[in-house]
Structure 1
Amino acid sequence: MKPASTLEVWLRGPLPEIPALLQPVAHALLQAREEVEKIAGGFPNEKLWERPVGVASVGFHLQHLTGVLDRLFTYAKGEMLSPSQLEWLANEGKPQAGQASFEELFQHFSQQIDKALAQLSATDTSTLLEGRGVGRAQIPSTVLGLLFHAAEHTQRHVGQLLVTVAVVGRNVEGKVQNVDL
């Protein structure tokens, strides 16, 4: 049998601090962090904002992963976005101070996952079906709907990020350089 650390996160067993109903959300977020971390040290920073064939850049995906987790978990708490969250949203896809390298952007994402896990551990499962509004229009959702969407949205963008990393990390011979997928 493989060592637990080589298995996908969801196969390693329950996380003791996370309520049972929220285990899939936590597993998905931790899996996303591990997948992005694998490429954090080798991605060439000069390619961070390249948009091959017009798709979103690696930098955008890293900013968006961080921002969307923050926003969806804020809505799950029943709160509106703060001015700083709205500023982050407006600047997704643009180089910013403190976000000049893959590593810096990964650290923001990793810290946001830590915040999300702390919120999951403190979530009263009796509130999961409570209604929550999304955005200024207060589009109806639930606590569970928002938390689940945060997990699946994170996984979707990590997949897009990995493909973009593979494309922009190729050298002229078509080989992937500095990227271990």
Structure 2
Amino acid sequence: MTAHDGRDGHLFRRTHPLILCLAAMAAAIGPTPVEAAGRVSPTAATAATDAPAPVPEPGADDAAVATTDAPGRILVSVPAKPPTRLAFRLKPLTVVPGESFIVDVSIGEPDAAPSGLHRAGTVAFVDPPETGRARSFLINVPKDAHFRGSRAEVTIALVGLDTPLHGSRVEIADPRLIP
């Protein structure tokens, strides 16, 4: 809806009060971690949400990278309320032509035996994965997953579909447990 304001032929648009209220709330909350990660450093984005930064597994340089030979592992902070969802980004670092894969996602206590991890789900890239292009995912946390400490370990593993995998690599970034 537009109206004339009586000055030099300028028009102004009336905005519904609910829209103004929602815009003010969004501005007060700030950017989401995914929005912030694209504009500022991951450390600053995490500080803006008052959540501690994810800590890679101690002693591993590529702890957040899954290869065809080994899963990728990263630690994530556990919120005070039991988490129901896991949000994260996957970025293909190397995509070998002809390889198609899915990504198994598991979650559990840090340093748990593989049998102590809970399968959270399996995700796939809808379009063929592009090297360097991160995509966001949101999956349910298994109901039987319980966390005693303040950290949980998220593990990703590449699983070949049509052919054996030889060199593809995928990085997990910005994992976040949501209550």
- TM above 0.5, yes or no, is no
Greater share of strand = 2
Greater share of helix = 1
